Amino acid sequence: MHVTDAHVEPHRLRLSGRHAVLEVSCPLPGVLRLRHAPVSSEIGFLHPELPGKRSWSVIAEEGHPLKVERDGERARVTAEGVSLEVDVESGTWRFQDAQGRELARCVEVSGEVQAAYPMSRHRARMKLRAPEGERYLGFGEKVGPLDKRGMHFTFWNTDVVPHHPDTDPLYQSIPFFVGLRGGVAWGFFLDESWRSEVDVALADASRVAWESWGPELDCYLFAGPMPADVVRRYAALTGRPPLPPLWSLGAQQSRWGYENAQDIRGVIQGYRQRNLPLDCVYLDIDYMDGYKVWTWDSARYPDPAGLVREAAAQGVRLVPIIDPALKLEPGWNVYEDAKARDYLVRYDRGGVLVGEVWPKPAVFPDLTRPEVQRWWGGLHRDFVALGMAGFWNDMNEPSCFGVQPDVGILTLTSERAEGIGQVEGKTLPYDARHGEKRHLEVHNVYALGMAKGAFEGLRELRPEARPFLLTRAGFAGIQRYSAVWTGDNSSHWTQLETSLPMLMGLGLAAVAHTGVDIPGFIGRANGELLVRWMQTGTFYPLMRNHAGKGTSPQEPWRFGEPYLTLARAALERRYRLLPTLYTLMHEASETGIAPLRPLLMEAPGDPEAAGAFDQFLFGRDLLVAPVVRPGQTKRLAYLPAGAWLEWPGLERTGEVREGGQHVIADGPLDTVPVWLRAGGAVALTRPAMHTTDANWQHLEWHVHAAPEIHGRLYEDAGDGYGESRLTELRGGVTAGVLRLERSEMGTLTRARTEEKIRVYGLTSVRKVTGARAHHFEDGVLELQVAADWTRLDVAP
C-alpha cells in the first residue's frame, strides 16, 4: 500500500499510503481491531485518515495501550495478550497470541471504488489463509453443518419463505466465525453493516475471502485459545444477552390463523384441559385493524386487557406481533406522526418511499436512526399498559413485497450508477435513503435498530420487568435486546436436523435465547415429527410451537395418541429442566456462552467432537443426541473424553460409557438420548402447568459421582432486577468417600420446601452424614436434605 505515513498514538497505529489506510487498536485484552481501507475516495490524498465510524454492534470502547516496533518493511504491534505483524508494503498481517502461535494470516487486501451518483460503488476485499484442516464455525444463522468450510454466504437480511436446507441468505447477518485448528481457537468479526459476502475456502480451498460493498473492512481478531474464550471476548465486544424473564423459557404456542380472542381462549383451554404446560401465547397479525401496528381489530378483540387478565388467570402471557412497516393511511396518528417528524425512509430522489407488506400501501420508519428508535420505543406504551408481556418483531429485514415506482421529480441527474434502484430480495432498494445513509449500508442493521428502540422503550415503560423480545432479523449485537427464532422453516425432518447447527451457530455469536418453529411453519407435520421436534425443542432455549396460515393445526393434541402423551412428557421434561436452563441463561448473561453448545466447546482438540453437529451439549454437563430422523429407534452419537451416564429423557439411568468413542443410543419414540457427564451436577424441579418464580421450592440435584464434582444454580424472582442467590455445589469422590459441599452467594431468601440429591455412579453406601434420609438402590443414592444443608459425606 506504499506507506507514506506511520502515525503512532498510545492506543492506535495508523499506516497510510496514497489511497489506503490501516489502523490498528486494541479494544479489549486479546482482541485487536483492524480498520482496512484498501482504496478510499473518502480520505484526502495528503493526510489520509479514516473518517470516524459508528458501529451498530460494538459496545466496548477502544483503549488498551499498544507497543509498536518498526523494522523496515514490518511493523509489530503488541497489545494485551496478542500481537500483529504488519507488512507495511502490502497491508497484510499475521495475528499471534501471547504464546507466539500464529492464529491467522491475511494474505491480500484489495478494493476498488467507482465514484457515481447517487452512490459510489465500493468493494473492499480481504483474503485470509485457510490452512488445511482449519474449521470455520458459526457465522450466526446460516444453513449447513456447523463447520462452514466449503460454503459461500451472503450477509443481506432476507425474508425467504419457505427456506430450505441450502437457502442463503436468511434473516440474520452475523459476520463472525470461530476458527479452530489443532485444538486452538481464534475468532474473526467483520463489523460492516454493508452487504457483504464470505467465501469459506470454497472457490479456493486455501483462502477465506471476504468482500464488503462498503469502503472499508473494519475487522476484529480474537485470541482463544479455547472456543469459549473467543465467544467470551466476542460477547464482551458486542454485548451479552440479558437474562430473560423465566416465563419466556416456558412453553409457547403460536399460530398465524388464530382469528380472534375466542381462538386464543380456546388454545389456552386446549392446553389446560389436557394438562399441558404453557406459559405464553402469541398474537399474530390478525389482531390488528387493517394490519396497522399498535391497533386492535375491535370486532375480533373487543377487550384486549380482559383477555390478558383471563390468560393470566391460567398462568399464560400474551405476546403480540409487531411489524415495522406502517400502513400509509392518511389520518392514522402513527403514520401522520412519523411523516410529520420526517422519520420515514425515502426514495433516492427524496420522496417518502412507498411499498407494501401486510399493510398496503406501506411506509417504513427509519429505525436505523437513534431518534426514530426512541420514538418507536415510546409507541409500546399502550400495549404495555394493556399488559402485553413481550413483543414479537417480524418482517424486520425489512421485508417489503414490492416498492412502488418513484414518481418524484427528477432533480439532479438522469445518469444513474449501475445497481441503483435495484432491490435484492423482498426489501427496499439499495439506494433508499436513511437520513444521510443508503439502504445498502444500513439494511442489515434495520432490525437491530428496531430491537434497540423496543428494548430501551420497554426498560423505561416497565422498569420493574425484564423486556422480552423475539425477532426474526438481526445483526451482530442483536443478543443485547432480543431472542431470535429462525423464521419460516418447514415441517420436514431435514429442518429438524438443520435447526441444531443453526442454533449452535447463533449461540457461538452469543445469541443465547433461540429456537425454531416446532414442528415447522409451513407444510404438514405428523405425530412422529411433532414428538421428535418437541423432544429436541425441550433443549432449545426458546420452545415455541408455531404454524403458518392455512397449514393443518399442530398444537400438541392434534395428532392423537400416543403423540399427545409423548408431547406432554416433552413439555414436562422442559419444566423439570428449568432450574438448569435458567442458570445457563444467567451464565450466558455473564459470559455470552449460550446454553445450547457444540461439543467442541468442551473438546476443541477432538476432531470427532469438533465435527459433530446433530447432537449438542446443554450446558457443560448434559449431552443430547436427539433422534431427528423418521422411523428410527437408535442413533449414533459421539461422546467426547470423560465418562458419561446414560440418562434417557432425564428419567431412568442406564450404563456409564467411556467417552472418546461413538455409541449406538437407544431412542424409541418415547426416549431422548441424553448423557450426564461424570462430575456433572444439574438441578431439576417438579413439572408444573406454568412458571411462577425461579426460587425453586422443589429441587432435585442429579449428580454423576467423580473425583471432582461441580454444579451451579442461579435463582431469583424469575423477572425484574431484585435479589438473587447463586448456589455452588462442589465436592468429589476420594478413596471411595463422596463429599458434597454447598455454598451460597446473594441475598434472596430460600423458598425450598423439598430438596433431594440423586447421586449416580456409587457402588456401595454404608454411612451417610449430613442428610435427613437416604436410600440406596440399583446404584442410585437418593438423599433427602434439609433446606439449609451445607455438607454431606457418604462412606462406602
In the complex, least distance from residue 488 CB atom to ligand GLC, rounded to whole angstroms: 5
Find the shortest distance in angstroms from Cβ 549 to ligand GLC. 7
- Name the closest residue to ligand GLC (Cβ): 256
Asked if 222 and 187 touch (Cβ cutoff 8 Å), the reply is yes
The whole-angstrom separation of Cα 68 and Cα 62 is 16
φ, ψ dihedrals at 247, nearest 5° = -60, -30
Tell me how far apart the alpha carbons of residues 529 and 71 are, in angstroms, rounded to a whole number. 63
Catalytic residue among 141, 394, 606, 700: 394
C-alpha cell at 729: 455445589
Catalytic-labelled residue, pool 397, 456, 614, 755? 397
Measured distance CA(239)–CA(56) in Å, rounded: 11
Q: How are beta strands 517-518 and 543-545 bridged, if at all?
A: parallel
Torsion of CA 732, 733, 735, 737, to 10 degrees: 110
Which residues contribute to the site for ligand GLC (CB under 6 A)? 161, 256, 284-285, 321, 394, 472, 487-488, 546
**Cross-strand bridge partners of residue 112:** 123
Contacting residues for 555 by C-beta, under 8 A, at least 6 apart:
253, 255, 267, 270, 271, 545
The residue ranges of DSSP E strands in 404-443, in sequence order, are 433-434, 437-438
Residue 394 designated active-site:
yes
Rounded CA-CA distance 389/300 in Å is 20
Active site residue 348: no
Q: Report cis status (omega within 30 of 0) of the bond before 648.
A: no
Rounded distance between C-alpha atoms, residue 161 and residue 544, angstroms: 19
Question: Residue 483: what residue type?
Answer: A
For residues 117 and 416, is the Cβ–Cβ distance under 8 A?
yes
- What's 324-369 look like in SS3? CCEECCCCCHHHHHHHHCCCECECCCCCECCEECCCCCEECECCCC
Pairing of β 151-155 and β 643-646: unpaired
Contacts (Cβ under 8 Å, ≥6 apart) of 372: 343, 365, 366, 449, 453
Rounded Cα distance between 619 and 616, Å, is 9
- Find the catalytic residue in 211, 229, 286, 488: 488
Active site residue 87: no
Question: Which residues are tagged catalytic?
Answer: 394, 397, 488
